[in-house]
Every structure is written in C-alpha cells, then in structure tokens.
C-alpha cells in the first residue's frame, strides 16, 4: 500500500474558506464524510476515494470520417447533386443571367475536379434485394415514425431512402453510418448462429449511431479499469477492436451488397477535420441544400428518428447563426476595427468535425447515488461534479497535442480573424481573446516592418500581399479545438459550474437570448459531468480528444491521465484543499483558465494571467511555474510560458498524486507524459501525426508546404497509411483474443468449439494469420469475411461476459452503468 503523504479530513478544514453554497457552511465536508464513510472492508481512506483502484469504469464514443471512392457517375453524392432541383435551378438562372455563372461553374468544378475520386460523407446506393430477410426487417423498423408505436406508419421522409436504377430496379440509399448497422443485421440474417452470439450481434447494432454527419460508435461493453487489465490500455483495447470490427463490417457491406461491383468503395477512418472539399462545397451551395446532403437522417438510435433529424438540423442552424454572431463580438472586442470583413458562410461545416469522447465512471458514486438511504443525491453529485470539472480544466493543457492532436496548416488568406478565430469569441472574454489573437499573429509572423498585417478581404489582394512579403500563415498542432464550438463561456448571471442544480438550463436561456446557442441543445463543455439520473452512471466525459496516432499509446495514456486527474480532484476535496471559493464562478476567471487550453491548441508559446487573479488554484500552479515575469505589454499581468506551465502541472501531479500514481500503477504513464512534453517532435501525438503527414507529402517542414496541399495530404494519410496502422493495431488485440479462444476450445468450452468447427477448423489464431494480409489489402472474399466476423463476435461476447462477471464479483451485482455518450 502506498504511503499516504497528507491526512485526509485534517485540520485544514478548520481554516479553509467557506464555500459558495448557501445550504450549509460545511456542505462539502458533509458530502465527503458520507462519500468516504468506512465500508467494513478494511480499505484505507485513500482507497475509498472515487476513481481509486477497481472503482473506475470507462467507455468511449468515436466519430469517424466516412468516404465513398468511385467515379462521378457511380457515387451517390455527385449523382444527388446533379439530379437535384437545386442544381437545375442554379443552372437555369445562370443561363438566364439571373445569377452569376460562377455559381454553376464552381459547382461543376467540384463535381469534375475530384482528382482522387473520393467523395467525403457521401451516401451509398445498392439493390434492395441484396438484404437478408432480417436486415429488411431492421430497415423497416427503422423507417417507422415511432418505433414504439408501429401503427403510426413510416416516417414522412421515408421516400428519400429509395431511388430507381436506370434499369428500373429499386435501390436503397443510406449514409455509411447506417450501412454499418445494416451490414451487421445482414450478417446475422444470412446464417444461423448460436443463440448467445445472435443476441450479442443484435445488441451491437444499437452501438452504431446515425445521428451526425460522421459515423459514431460507442463501447461494446463497460470496461473495468484495473491494474490487472492495464488501466487505460483496456479501454484502448476495446476501442481498437471496435474500430477493427467496424472495418470488417464495411468490407462485408462492400462485398455482400455489391458496392464494389457497382463502382462504390465505402471507407471509414479516424480524421479530425471537416474535409477540404466539403468546406469548398459548403461555400458553393445554400445552407438548406447542404443540410439535405450531409445531415444524418437519424435512422438508428432513436425511437422517433425524424424528430431527432430535425434536432440535428437545428444544431446546424444554431451553430451557423452563432458563428455569424461571433463577428459582432470581434468588432466589440476591437479585433475587427473596420468594415473589411469576410463573412463566414451562413452554413457552418463544424458538425463534420470528428473527435473521441472518453467517459470514466465511478462505481462508488453510482452505487451511492442509486441508494436512497446513502445520504447522497443529485444535488451533491452536481456540487462535487462542477468543482471537479473546474479543477480538471486547469490540467487539460497536458492533453492537448500530447495524447491527441489535429495538425493543420492555415495559409495567409485564412487569417481573417472572423475565420481563424472561429467560435472563440463565444468561449473567451474579450481581454483574453485580444491577447490570444495578438500572440497568434506574432507566432504566425503576420507582420511587415514590425506592424501586423492581416488579410484585407478580396482574395486577389491577399494573395498578392502574401507573395510580396512572404507571409505563409501558420501551422497549428490541434486546430480542431479552435474550429469547433467545444465549450461556452458563462454569463455573469448564470455560471455553468457553481455547483447548483439547473445552472446549465439557466445559462442556455441566457445564451439563447444572445443568439449564441439554443436551449434544446446539450450544453457544450470541455469536461462534462455524466449525471447518474440521466446516464445511469456517475462520472466525467472528456471531450478534448482529437486524433490519435496510436490508440494503444495515445488513447490509453490519455485515459490513464484523465483517471488520475479525477482521483486527484477527489483527494483534494477530501483533504479540504479545494473548494468552490478557490475557483470562483466568474466568466473572466473561467476564460482565464481556458485560454491556456486554447493557447496550447494553437501552439502559442505564452499566455497572460492577472497578478491579482481571484483563482487561487491557478495561482498556486503559477507560483510553481518557472520563467514567469511581469508583462511589459499588459500592466498588471504575468507572462507565463505554456511549456513551463505544463511542466509545473507535471511536477504538481508527481508531488500531490504520488500515492495515487503508485496505487494505480501509473508510473510509466507519467514518465511517458514527460517524454511527450520534453521531446514533442518524437513522442507527442502532434509530432507523430505531423511526421506521418509529411512522409505522405515527401516534405520535411509543414511551413514549406502550401496550406491546402498540407491539409489534403493529411486527409490522404488518415485515409490510407494511418487507417492501415490502426487496423494492424486492432489485429494485434484480436490475435490475443483468438489465442485465448483456441485455448478455451481446447479445454472443451462449447460455444468456442462449435464456432471453430464452423469457421476455422485449424484454430482461430492460425486462421487470422492466413487471412491477415488479404484483410489489410481488402481482398477477403465474402466467405472468409463472414468467418472472421463470426469469430470476432465470439470475442466480443467473451469480453462482455468477463466485464459482467468482474463487476458482479466486485459489487454483488452487475453495474447497470454504461459510461457512454449519446449526443443530445
């Protein structure tokens, strides 16, 4: 047992400042007393903390990029555009001289200028007769207006999912996200499987969501995070296997549904940014037509899918309006000082942004909140949760670019503040926004003779200035976090994290009145409480992960660090070292701590903190940060280096969480974090991803590559090289499972023996070795694909049984908590 460095519930309670709650001056102490009461199992107080060993469970939701490769005459997206009333109307108006001919010329250019023949977020179309009987039943159920009331009939838009081929044959057209569910349904319906495997397959269909532009999946089972299971490695393993299973389903759909033979090849992979060509198209078409092309129809995952589809349209409209309103804020902030602006598109493309959400739940919190006699309720959960979130936000710069990243090149012409700053006017206050923008301009060398020179507006002038003065723009390590509305700044009247129930709803009402957000939408936060009453578990969701170079190393390490930060927060609460008064609920202070996160994402080397900041927790970190000095430019402010702040956080973790690190077995994770911070080019996610992209481009420096060329090269790397690497990583985990499956079959386990007889008489592991290269090269025939999917289903079933048995053994009953995220 690790040594305990400081007493819990020590004398520090007597001198600690009162909390902001009006319920009781010692409210936090009372909550922690109930939470950490002895349970008769002899565990120390430290071991009874939430997120201590054997307490945490995890799950991830992954957003993937979908593309369909094929010629213009074979793929659904270009066909839909060409055959649309929108295209016909634009062509007719251009011919009549009612609209500029450039509009139809640009649209034709998009259709004819696709060099790689890859159509991002296109749907697919194939003969309806290709589906098995069960897959047809699933499709018909998902086309219902209300799945709980089939007598209500089909959705009002059901007709859009069917078209006729030139031969007259009826074709089904669906997005790739729904294609994955249909592929699994077809696999189950085209053969007879053992009852437990069929049940597992039916359950997994619900894990393929169809609510956003990108395909989304969430964990196939709750993942216990234990030292024996490798902590974050266990969650990375589940995510990697799920990615591989998704690849197999897509290969199956390409073969079984005749997509390949009809000139369509569907692909999914990890990619963080909206595709370059989709951004171009977004600037060429009306917002309503963009939504028709790219908003998911929400066939899977909701009882009333058409209602959910309208909600997703609302999200798009709100974000588009919000970005327009951000321009006015830039004017108010003094960043835009004249009327020379380039208005953002009235159609925003940020919903095509992809990331991974990591949810970690505490079984202890869930158990107590589910027990009406425990003394803990939703008000206590909210109080503790908001305080933990505020504390955790100070540590998020440790994750940015280190465990995940989204490298991106901005050309000089991209540096109109109304474009480059995206949603930041809604995420930071004006003071920090001006500081961040000025430092970003300096980093990007947007100056001539010492004066900042941002683009003027007309593209031809901007290109001329760029060439004349050698202004190349900038390279940003994690641009996804800047280009997407990832959090919302509180208002003075409605702090989002003051520990009170209902504060999010109050803030959403304020933001709705300001034209920033809509009260129907879930409040965007960097780090989010997963409430027991809503989700069935209690914990926190990290929404700050962009792209992983390696799921094992990057996602696994990030999960470990996220778990440690959670545990450290509760240790501080137990010691009386952290209260709401230490991190007051003021929009300026909220912006002050979040600016560090955004500075790290942009790659700014410094940020500024007021020397009299009321955020005592932040000032304790700043006191331990090296090379801090008074700012010459901003009187009353301290100039802090992002790198030194990160190293100070690392030092703080090693000091204050030493016992937790030992108890959780995370020594290697912390050592690896130091490597990522000290040698980012070699060890960080940003460095590794950038190296891969440059290898794709045969280049050595991002700044020596034109912006669009770099970003298109990144897309090719994610689609080809990195996708294959992630597949290989998943195969390593699957091989481990197949070896265990062979052992189980050898000892006589009935399910395993039966499936090996049917699919791989020579053994699962040797079968995987035989098909490995053909799988990676997408050459597997349907028979071998089916066998591989069946065997993979066996391993998923075994994973579920192990998780269920472990949780039941630890608590006497299987946790119902499923740490997942369902948008909206």
The Cα 796–Cα 136 span in angstroms is 25
pLDDT computed for residue 637 by the predictor: 97
pLDDT reported for residue 324: 84
Answer for the pair 109, 78: CB distance below 8 angstroms, yes or no.
no
Mean pLDDT of 395-407: 98
Task: Return the closest-CA partner of residue 180 out of 232, 230, 229, 242.
Answer: 242
CA–CA–CA angle 441, 447, 449 (5° rounding) = 150
Residues 634/609, Cβ–Cβ less than 8 Å: no
Instruction: Look at residue 210 in the predicted model and tell me its pLDDT.
Output: 83
Position 4 pLDDT exceeds 90: no
Using CA atoms, how far apart are residues 769 and 692, in angstroms rounded to an integer?
A: 27
What is the pTM for the complete model shown? 0.94
Q: What is the pLDDT of residues 645-668, one digit of tens each?
A: 999 999 999 999 999 999 999 999
Cα 512 from Cα 728, distance rounded (Å): 46
Query: pLDDT above 70 covers what percent of the chain?
Result: 94
- Indicate the pairing of strand 451-452 with strand 474-476: unpaired
pLDDT of res. 386: 96
Residues in the chain: 824
Over residues 206-233, the mean pLDDT reads 91
Q: Cα(716)–Cα(707) distance, rounded to whole angstroms?
A: 14
Mean pLDDT of 319-324: 86
Is pLDDT at 405 greater than 60 in this prediction? yes
Higher pLDDT, 5 or 748: 748
pLDDT digit string (tens) for 682-705?
Answer: 999 999 999 999 999 999 999 999
Give the pLDDT score at 730: 98
Please return the burial class of 72, using the count of CB atoms within 10 Å of its CB with bins 0-12, 13-18 and 19+: middle
Tokens of 61: 């939701």
pLDDT for residue 765: 96
* 536 class by beta-carbon count within 10 Å (0-12 exposed, 13-18 middle, 19+ buried): middle
The 10s digit of each residue's pLDDT in 23-82 is 444 688 888 888 988 876 778 888 899 999 889 999 999 999 999 999 999 999 999 999
- Where do we find the tokens 């007259």? 168
In the prediction, which pLDDT does 541 show? 97
Q: Is residue 640 within a helix (H) or strand (E), and if so which, with residue range? A: strand 637-641
**How many Å apart are CA 456 and CA 337, to the nearest integer?**
12
pLDDT exceeding 90 applies to what percent of the chain? 75
Rounded Cα gap, residues 431 and 334, in angstroms: 10
Q: What is the pLDDT of residues 609-640, one digit of tens each?
A: 999 999 999 999 999 999 999 999 999 999 99
Q: Is the confidence at residue 10, as pLDDT, over 60?
A: no
Whether the CA torsion 152, 823, 210, 326 is positive or negative: it is positive
Strand, coil or helix: what is 205? helix
| Nearest in space to 599 (alpha carbons), one of 657, 642, 644, 645 | 642
> What does pLDDT average to over the chain?
91
Alpha helix segments (H runs only) across 52-164:
76-82, 85-96, 101-112, 133-142
Confidence of residue 811 (pLDDT cuts 50, 70, 90): low
> How confident is the model over 590-606, as a mean pLDDT?
98
Q: Average pLDDT in the 747-773 region?
A: 92
Distance, C-alpha 177 to centroid of its chain: 16
Mean pLDDT, residues 507-515: 90
Q: Which of 309-323, 351-365, 446-460 has the lowest mean pLDDT?
A: 446-460
Break the chain into its structural domains and give their ranges: 310-601+644-710
Which of 202-206, 465-469, 571-575, 576-580 bottoms out in mean pLDDT, i.e. has the lowest? 465-469
Answer whether 280's CB lies under 8 Å from 486's CB: no
């Amino acid at each position: 047992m690790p040594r305990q460095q400081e007493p819990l519930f020590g004398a520090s309670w007597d001198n600690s400042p009162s909390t902001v709650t009006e319920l009781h001056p010692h409210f936090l102490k009372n909550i922690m007393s109930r939470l950490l009461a002895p349970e008769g199992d002899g565990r120390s107080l430290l071991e009874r903390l939430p997120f201590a060993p054997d307490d945490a469970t995890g799950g991830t939701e992954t957003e993937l990029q979908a593309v369909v490769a094929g010629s213009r005459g074979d793929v659904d997206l270009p066909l839909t555009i060409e055959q649309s009333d929108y295209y016909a109307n634009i062509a007719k108006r251009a011919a009549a001289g009612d609209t500029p001919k450039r509009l139809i010329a640009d649209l034709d250019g998009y259709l004819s200028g696709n060099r790689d023949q890859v159509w991002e977020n296109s749907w697919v179309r194939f003969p309806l007769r290709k589906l098995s009987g069960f897959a047809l039943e699933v499709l018909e159920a998902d086309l219902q207006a209300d799945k709980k009331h089939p007598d209500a009939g089909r959705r009002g838009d059901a007709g859009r999912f069917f078209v006729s081929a030139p031969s007259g044959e009826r074709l089904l057209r669906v997005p790739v996200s729904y294609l994955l569910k249909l592929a699994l349904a077809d696999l189950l319906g085209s053969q007879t499987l053992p009852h437990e495997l069929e049940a597992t397959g039916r359950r997994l269909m619900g894990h393929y969501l169809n609510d956003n532009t990108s395909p989304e999946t969430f964990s196939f089972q709750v993942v216990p995070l234990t030292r024996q299971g490798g902590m974050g490695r266990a969650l990375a393993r589940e995510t990697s296997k799920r990615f591989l299973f998704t690849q197999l389903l897509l290969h199956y759909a390409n073969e079984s549904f005749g997509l390949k033979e009809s000139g369509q090849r569907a692909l999914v992979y990890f990619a963080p940014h909206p595709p370059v060509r989709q951004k171009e198209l977004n600037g060429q078409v009306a917002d309503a037509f963009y939504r028709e092309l790219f908003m998911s129809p929400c066939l899977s995952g909701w009882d009333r899918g058409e209602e959910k589809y309208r909600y997703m349209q609302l999200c798009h409209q709100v974000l588009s309006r919000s970005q327009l309103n951000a321009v006015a804020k830039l004017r108010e902030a003094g960043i835009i000082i004249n009327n020379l602006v380039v208005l953002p598109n009235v159609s925003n493309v940020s919903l095509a942004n992809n990331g991974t959400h990591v949810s970690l739940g505490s079984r202890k919190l869930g158990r107590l909140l589910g027990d009406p006699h425990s003394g803990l309720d939703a008000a206590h959960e909210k109080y503790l949760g908001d305080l933990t979130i505020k504390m955790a936000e100070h540590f998020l710069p440790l994750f940015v670019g280190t465990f995940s990243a989204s490298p991106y090149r901005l050309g000089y012409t991209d540096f109109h503040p109304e474009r480059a700053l995206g949603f930041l006017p809604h995420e930071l206050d004006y003071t920090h926004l001006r500081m961040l923008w000025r430092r970003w301009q300096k980093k990007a060398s947007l100056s001539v003779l010492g004066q900042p020179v941002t683009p003027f507006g007309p593209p031809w002038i901007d290109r001329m200035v760029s060439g004349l003065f050698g202004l190349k723009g900038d390279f940003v390590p994690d641009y996804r976090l800047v280009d997407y509305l990832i959090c919302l700044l509180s208002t003075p009247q409605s702090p989002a994290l003051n520990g009170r129930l209902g504060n999010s709803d109050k803030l959403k009402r304020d933001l709705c009145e300001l034209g920033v957000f809509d009260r129907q939408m879930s409040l965007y936060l960097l780090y989010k409480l997963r409430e027991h009453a809503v989700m069935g578990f209690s914990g926190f969701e990290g929404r700050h992960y962009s792209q992983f170079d390696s799921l094992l190393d990057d996602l696994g390490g990030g999960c470990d660090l996220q778990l440690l930060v959670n545990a450290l927060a509760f240790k501080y609460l137990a010691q009386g070292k952290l209260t709401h008064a230490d991190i007051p609920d003021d929009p300026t202070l909220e912006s002050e701590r979040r600016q560090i996160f955004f500075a790290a994402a942009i790659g700014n080397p410094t940020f500024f903190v007021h020397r009299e900041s009321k955020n005592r927790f932040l000032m304790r970190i700043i006191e331990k940060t090296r090379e801090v000095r008074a700012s010459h430019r901003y009187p009353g402010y301290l100039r802090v280096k992002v790198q030194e702040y990160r190293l100070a956080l690392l030092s703080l973790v090693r000091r204050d969480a030493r016992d937790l690190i030992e108890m959780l077995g995370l020594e290697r994770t912390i050592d690896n974090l130091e490597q990522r911070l000290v040698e980012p080019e070699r060890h960080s996610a940003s460095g590794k991803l950038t190296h891969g992209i440059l290898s794709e481009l045969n280049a050595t420096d991002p700044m020596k590559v034109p912006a669009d060329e770099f970003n298109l090269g990144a897309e090719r790397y994610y689609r080809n090289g990195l996708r294959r690497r992630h597949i290989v990583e998943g195969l390593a985990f699957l091989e481990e499972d197949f070896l265990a499956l062979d052992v189980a079959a050898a000892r006589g386990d009935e399910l395993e023996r039966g499936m090996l007889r049917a699919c791989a008489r020579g053994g699962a592991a040797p079968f995987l070795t035989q098909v490995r290269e053909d799988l990676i090269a997408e050459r597997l025939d349907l028979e071998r694909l089916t066998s591989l999917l069946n065997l993979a289903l066996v391993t998923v079933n075994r994973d579920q049984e192990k998780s269920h048995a472990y949780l039941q053994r630890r608590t006497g009953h299987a946790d119902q908590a499923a740490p997942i995220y369902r948008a909206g």
